[in-house]
Structure 1
């Protein structure tokens, strides 16, 4: 925000000043991401990007400012990618691969800045329609392809902000779009003329008022009796989870928890049992299942299981045993370079020289798996990386009484992934307007209300049990019904409206009118 008044005074040839301004705005945006999670920093940082688009004298300055903004925004957020690698072999790849990921993320703001500046016709349309539409498009593209990695999207910074009230309508992608629009309005208030400032202020207030009204709508309603659940955080770091001592300790700790819990539902993290199912001690699951059935309880746990057609490959799975019957869910969206390697023929030999990641030969499960039943209630179940894709499991969320996320956010050398991943679960709860239970290996394990607020958490990095009670809900929000078609449609309308103000578009309409006459 403090950088905006400087924009009019930047010398046209002083490209480095535009770089400095962009970097400052990007760093401001990074403050909105966890663990700082100061949500006003997102629209304020984006106001700087909008100011660059509006005031840069040329494309090169707009591009330079956009690149600096992207690096400033994403280097602090994704810097954890440099930890946990072994650079002794192929150091160029060890440091080059994370750098390439950060560069790919930074290319989004850079492209938005360049394209918005090139198509700039009217300040209000550019800042509040064109730039938000472009930003939403770049975020959506990160969900596609075999290298997809939609980490820390903009909308997740607003899970406890006023705009969160609109998540059941437009989802996390739409909330991110409106966050950019707020930034554009702030830029216009700081840089525009009197009439422009008034219009921008009214637009800002209108967006916030719409969010407030939407937050008062009860999109879903309570159904049935409250459910008592116990969530077990094992506390095993990634470096110890798969060694022999860690495996034995995990089997003992989780068995004791499942056998002695009295909650209707007991839930363990993703891959809580760090073995293939056939490698478990004989009778291990049978004892857990028998005890749960006798006490009319259910246990949900994570494990690996061999695929049916290739014993060398495996699924990352969740297993339910107990009163609701034996059920298995196989993870459908796998983490690149954590569970599978894209372009494996080329990249796997290089990757194995710089990192030691166990269980890399995972196979995605079928998209047609039935929604599991846990505690006698149908649930929407996601395993870790899957909860970054709001549009992917809408059918399960529609039929669910509550949502469950099993996660394993232990990353050697950094806690940032743990903090940055929690808002994804909050956004999924907001989008569906249903409570969510999140169980993680090292944290954060939390109970989240239907409004996205955290009801209870346990401290990270230690074994702990969180006992909580939730109220199942039924109903379907507009976002669950239509998914990303809503925010993408809004982005398309905003893009079209902004293009309509271009000189060529106006001249074309005038020619058409004369021809019709």
Structure 2
């Protein structure tokens, strides 16, 4: 038996063993495979695990005897993927464990089960359309990507840890995001990682060549094209210097009455540690000023001590409706403050975190949001381009908003020259969460062809150029600041111009190709 035949035989043996599983053994195997696949996510980025996790999913899909079982293949795999990929959500509930600790099983396991429905829907849909033969990999990959896209906007949307996010480890491959966005990366990943499942089919040189094309040449072509783009577009700067401050305020003490003055003092001290001459903006993270700065003139004037003489302080802080206004409202905002304290611009966060900033179905659920206070936040109007004195136009993203592809620039807004992402990842401790959040924000810049400036309370604060090249960074759990020259944007990218239209067209083409190559048996 030659080497090629042995490869096919080994794959067939593994596929047969998986097909023989039933009941709880089958379910546990799928959960384990999903959990294994999640090790490819940042910060571990162990990409090779997908070459076992996803082919095994295909083999178990092939062996599913019923439609219900086909749904279960995607659902149980998705449960493992999300439990491991989103375990860090529990850290936010431990900030006040006495009050919210009981919610951990619901937040981790319940949320994972809900999100896994989209994966189950993908495998069920593949069964319903009769995905067979070599084409089943293309059909599954297309429907998997479509399910991730649906997850990004249904039920308010939660595109965290989509399959394409595993490529944060490879800047050249990330350049695919400029053309196909996150969904183009997801489609590429699904095709490449599911293709080895074809090795369990009838041995043939054509089948082996197809596996090589999808698993090796497709990612290699993406890497080569991305490397060429990186080489052809050198870094460029605007000449404007920014100072990014990372105050590292523990989440458990941030809103303590006796500590808030000290937190504001520390942020000002870090901002003025060296001369502010030549600095155009000092940037603080989300809610870095723990006061309602729109009505608190004294604390706003003190915060303004961090503003450069010829520049601005850009800081996150809460905002409340004026006294006497009914109903009372609360916003999570970005303030642009000039020397002396005047507010020259405001941006209100639009995409709020369920249960973190508001309680869905509050009339039905007897719980409170995990952030301070009982009042739900009010969403802002959506993506905006801010014109700030002395600075290029900017697209602000507050925390959670950075995970949503195609929601950086408003449809009726002028194109900005950079993205400003302020966030407070102190909720998630020293976990994978801040690394995954940073990876998502970085990809937004690549998708739009815009530099990204990110200020985080406990890290990771960083600056990337419009191709995702790192310019500066302050690590997770560090306290300090850094000065950086703002990079220049590049010309609008295909994804920035057409949004999800291009990747969805690729998904449709992949689906059609898969159906064209289906056969009556694998």
TM-score tier, shorter chain, comes to 0.7 to 0.9
Aligned to 1:304: 318
TM-aligned CA deviation for residue 18 of structure 1: 3.5
Instruction: Give the TM-score, by structure 1 length.
Output: 0.85
Deviations along 1:21-44, one digit per CA (max 9) or x if unpaired, are: 423321221101223122343454
- The 2-side partners of 1:340 and 1:407 are apart by 17
Q: 1:152-167 residue pairs with structure 2 within 5 A?
A: 152-161=161-170, 162-167=172-177
Relative to 1, partners in 2 of residues 1:20 and 1:90: Cα closer, same or farther, differing over 3 Å?
closer
Equivalent of 1:321 in 311, 315, 337: 337
> Is 1:402 equivalent to 2:444 in the alignment?
no
TM-aligned CA deviation for residue 114 of structure 1: 3.0
Aligned to 2:203: 193
Aligned to 2:126: 116
Deviations along 1:208-247, one digit per CA (max 9) or x if unpaired, are: 3145225523797877633322111111122111112331
Relative to 1, partners in 2 of residues 1:307 and 1:89: Cα closer, same or farther, differing over 3 Å?
closer
Relative to 1, partners in 2 of residues 1:360 and 1:149: Cα closer, same or farther, differing over 3 Å?
farther
> Is 1:243 equivalent to 2:256 in the alignment?
yes
Q: Tell me if structure 2 keeps the 8 A contact 1:398–1:476.
A: no
> Is 1:285 equivalent to 2:300 in the alignment?
yes
- The 1-side partners of 2:78 and 2:409 are apart by 31
Q: 1:416-455 residue pairs with structure 2 within 5 A?
A: 416-455=432-471
Which segments of 5 or more consecutive residues in structure 2 lack a partner in the other structure? 1-6
Aligned to 2:4: none
- The 2-side partners of 1:144 and 1:451 are apart by 26
- The 2-side partners of 1:474 and 1:159 are apart by 20
Which segments of 5 or more consecutive residues in structure 1 lack a partner in the other structure? 505-517
TM-aligned CA deviation for residue 388 of structure 1: 0.8
TM-aligned CA deviation for residue 271 of structure 1: 0.8
Q: Tell me if structure 2 keeps the 8 A contact 1:299–1:322.
A: yes
Cα RMSD over matched residues? 3.3
Q: 1:59-458 residue pairs with structure 2 within 5 A?
A: 59=67, 61-83=69-91, 84=93, 95-127=105-137, 129-161=138-170, 162-189=172-199, 191=201, 193-194=203-204, 195-204=206-215, 205-217=217-229, 225-259=238-272, 261-262=276-277, 263-278=279-294, 280=296, 282-286=297-301, 289=304, 292=307, 295-307=309-321, 310=326, 312-322=328-338, 326-347=344-365, 349-351=366-368, 355=370, 357-358=372-373, 360-367=375-382, 369-373=384-388, 375-395=390-410, 399-411=415-427, 415-458=431-474
Relative to 1, partners in 2 of residues 1:209 and 1:474: Cα closer, same or farther, differing over 3 Å?
closer
Q: Tell me if structure 2 keeps the 8 A contact 1:264–1:375.
A: yes
Relative to 1, partners in 2 of residues 1:498 and 1:398: Cα closer, same or farther, differing over 3 Å?
farther
TM-aligned CA deviation for residue 3 of structure 1: 8.3
TM-aligned CA deviation for residue 368 of structure 1: 6.8
Instruction: Give the TM-score, by structure 2 length.
Output: 0.84
TM-aligned CA deviation for residue 123 of structure 1: 2.7
TM-aligned CA deviation for residue 374 of structure 1: 6.6
Relative to 1, partners in 2 of residues 1:213 and 1:82: Cα closer, same or farther, differing over 3 Å?
closer
Secondary structure of 1:406's counterpart equals strand
Q: Tell me if structure 1 keeps the 8 A contact 2:383–2:395.
A: no
TM-aligned CA deviation for residue 358 of structure 1: 3.8
Paired residue total: 498
Q: Tell me if structure 2 keeps the 8 A contact 1:230–1:267.
A: yes
